[in-house]
Structure 1
Amino acid sequence: MALRLFPEWHPQDAVQLTWPHAEGDWAPTLPCIEATLEAMVVAIARYQTVLIAVSDAATRQRLAQSFACLGVADERLRLVVAAGDDTWARDHGPIGVEQDGQVVLRDFTFTGWGGKFAAERDNRLSQRLAEQGVFAAPLDTRALVLEGGAIDSDGQGTLLTTEACLLNPNRNPHLDRHGVEAELAAALGASRVLWLANGHLEGDDTDSHIDTLARFCDPQTIAYVHCDDEHDAHYPALAAMRAELEALRQADGSPYRLVPLPWPRPCFDPDDGHRLPATYANFLIINNAVLVPTYADAADARALTALAGAFPGRDIIPIDCRQVIRQHGSLHCLTMQLPRGSLAGASHSAEGTP
């Protein structure tokens, strides 16, 4: 059986979001995070459809009116009532694979990053969307506990991940490293798994998701978080991670091209002062563009320049994510791309190229 996990740069039908609600963790800053999400939707809708899961019909109507006023074309917006617990679509959204030439959406089990937070509604959200006919591709439910932010694909059978997440006993305690690799091979077609033993961001609830640390930009290129401040608490672990990346090899034995991403100044929560996980690695690849999180920091411009070099020919779009990191995620964490062929009724004529 021919099976592979699509890379993020594969042509897409849509980007999926889960809208926050007043009963969730975003309640104290709901208008602020909604403004950030609105900016994301307006940016993405220039290139492709945005699918938004909302908690109720009133929110659907309100958002439809709001985005019409913001100039988002009707055909670029899908609003579907499917309530979730939180907003992190990267981790509860479906993961697209190619199986025998067809798109299949894998629906893995989501447990709130190892039982840290409520996740029952999030775990059912993809099924609720499927029941309403949102997807053109079949939804395949799997018992394996796996979040989309925990893995990154080169589209050629290689996955990049971290030991701290996928080998954590709070996910799949019955599986050792070989067992996890076997599950990734069976579900995602992974022929190689590249494990990072180092790397962590303070304030991260995910047990070191790879999408906060290092990402494929193409099959030969990895962009990664580079800490150049020797006095920062992150410096030893991120220096060790860089050494690991330098030692990694492509399937043909050649080293990867590594793109260091700058280190922003520390960001702290304004209420209790704890450090927040600001990272430029949490970018989102869409059709013809890359959305990049920014933090009103001097390093923003250098991050945008570095990623422009890694993605020639794509528009580079900054999104202010200072509100997003207050809940310990960033831009990529809020989104899940749906590969071409997965969204019911999708029109590809105006979607652009990858």
Structure 2
Amino acid sequence: MRRFLPEWHPQWGVLLAWPDPDTDWADHLAEAERCYLDILAALLDHQHVLLVCRNDTLHNRIQRLVAQRGLGAERLQLVIADYNDTWARDFGPLAIENDGATELLDYTFTGWGGKFEADRDNALNQQLTWSLPLHSHSLVLEGGAVDTDGQGNLLTTRHCLRNPNRNPALSEDELTAQLKQQLGVKDIWWLDHGELEGDDTDAHVDTLARFVDARTLAYVQCQDTEDSHYPSLHRMEQELQSLAHHHHLTLVPLPLPTPQYSREGQRLPATYANFLITNEKILLPVYGCETDQAAIDALSAVAGGRTVTPVNCRVLIEQHGSLHCVTMQLPRGAL
């Protein structure tokens, strides 16, 4: 009996890959490092972090920055390995329970359908020393593309999983069968609408709609009919309302952040749905804009015993991702 573990399953900690001059963060490196230190500060007070960096020089730099920030390093595990970029959500392992034992699944990562080089990212899980079994799959699948309630239901988008740049040889029925068999899910809830401008992932569900617990879905809501996102996000909202009615779920709308733009004038994919659930907290990306507090309040109302901790992730959207995208939770016993 297999079960795809939800994000709130007891965790060992979180996987991160450090931004450096050889990643796409070169033009925003100082800001990116500050953001990562903020993430570490929000994590290390209550759980472990497996932080991958590229070489000894960076290993020493991280230790120095962590000490200067006054962070305790008892729960920080630094590992030297190579990678293309820092999107741990999409190349990190997924976790399942198989007949009561926890296992890790290593899916194929192709840089979101071949948009970017990803060979070293794809090889990273095999370079790390796990205390749990790690099983490799040829199926192209990113962690940000799927979410689960832990009760056998998988939430995803057709625009991503059915995109011909992922698994073109598979029909939807064949893909569904593989996901059900490998992840142990019973039903797949497909969304046909919803995508953010500037998103390289072809509508990862973790930018749009997320389980907060088994009965609660938080999602991005656009109320401005003049916003370019309104038609698609409004139709997604209707899809979610239908799902919620049929499955007796609580929906929590999160505001679409005040529009954020790059220096070149491109709209960036800011989203509050890209939060990370840990053992004691919900780390919420914020962007230094007027909608931040409404998002904090909305998520706090359904956080249960967890504390909502805002982390300024404005720099992360410069590379078209956010907080959930750069983190991958690891189940208890992983290391």
2:294 to 288, 302, 305: 302
Residue pair 1:227, 1:239 contacting (<8 A) in 2 also: yes
Residue pair 2:244, 2:250 contacting (<8 A) in 1 also: no
Secondary structure in structure 1 of the residue aligned to 2:217: strand
- 2:8 equivalent in structure 1: 9
Instruction: Specify the code of the residue in structure 1 equivalent to 2:250.
Output: R
Instruction: Specify the code of the residue in structure 2 equivalent to 1:199.
Output: G
Instruction: Specify the code of the residue in structure 1 equivalent to 2:325.
Output: C
1:315 CA displacement: 1.0
Q: Percent identity?
A: 51
Change (3 A) 1:113 1:254: closer
Matches of 1:21 and 1:69, distance apart in 2: 18
Q: Structure 1 regions of 5+ residues with no counterpart?
A: 344-354
- 1:102 equivalent in structure 2: 101
1:243 paired with 2:235, answer no
1:95 CA displacement: 0.7
1:74 CA displacement: 2.9
The CA deviation string for residues 207-239 of structure 1, in whole angstroms up to 9 with x for no partner, is 000000000111111000000100001001000
- 1:205 equivalent in structure 2: 200
1:73 CA displacement: 2.5
Q: Structure 2 regions of 5+ residues with no counterpart?
A: none
Matches of 2:320 and 2:162, distance apart in 1: 21
- 1:266 equivalent in structure 2: 259
Residue pair 1:162, 1:210 contacting (<8 A) in 2 also: yes
1:321 paired with 2:313, answer yes
Instruction: Specify the code of the residue in structure 1 equivalent to 2:13.
Output: A
1:249 CA displacement: 4.9
Matches of 1:27 and 1:115, distance apart in 2: 21
- 2:54 equivalent in structure 1: 55
Secondary structure in structure 2 of the residue aligned to 1:75: coil
1:329 CA displacement: 0.3
1:256 to 246, 249, 252: 249
- 1:351 equivalent in structure 2: none
1:188 CA displacement: 0.6
Matches of 1:74 and 1:238, distance apart in 2: 41
- 1:41 equivalent in structure 2: 40
- 2:275 equivalent in structure 1: 283
The CA deviation string for residues 228-271 of structure 1, in whole angstroms up to 9 with x for no partner, is 10000100100000000011158xx543210000122110002x
TM-score norm. by structure 1 comes to 0.93
Spell out the pairing of 1:105-184 with structure 2 (5 A cutoff). 105-129=104-128, 133=129, 135-184=130-179
Matches of 2:277 and 2:144, distance apart in 1: 14
Secondary structure in structure 2 of the residue aligned to 1:195: strand
Matches of 2:74 and 2:329, distance apart in 1: 17
- Number of residue equivalences: 335
Secondary structure in structure 2 of the residue aligned to 1:248: helix
Matches of 1:310 and 1:287, distance apart in 2: 15
Matches of 1:297 and 1:71, distance apart in 2: 28
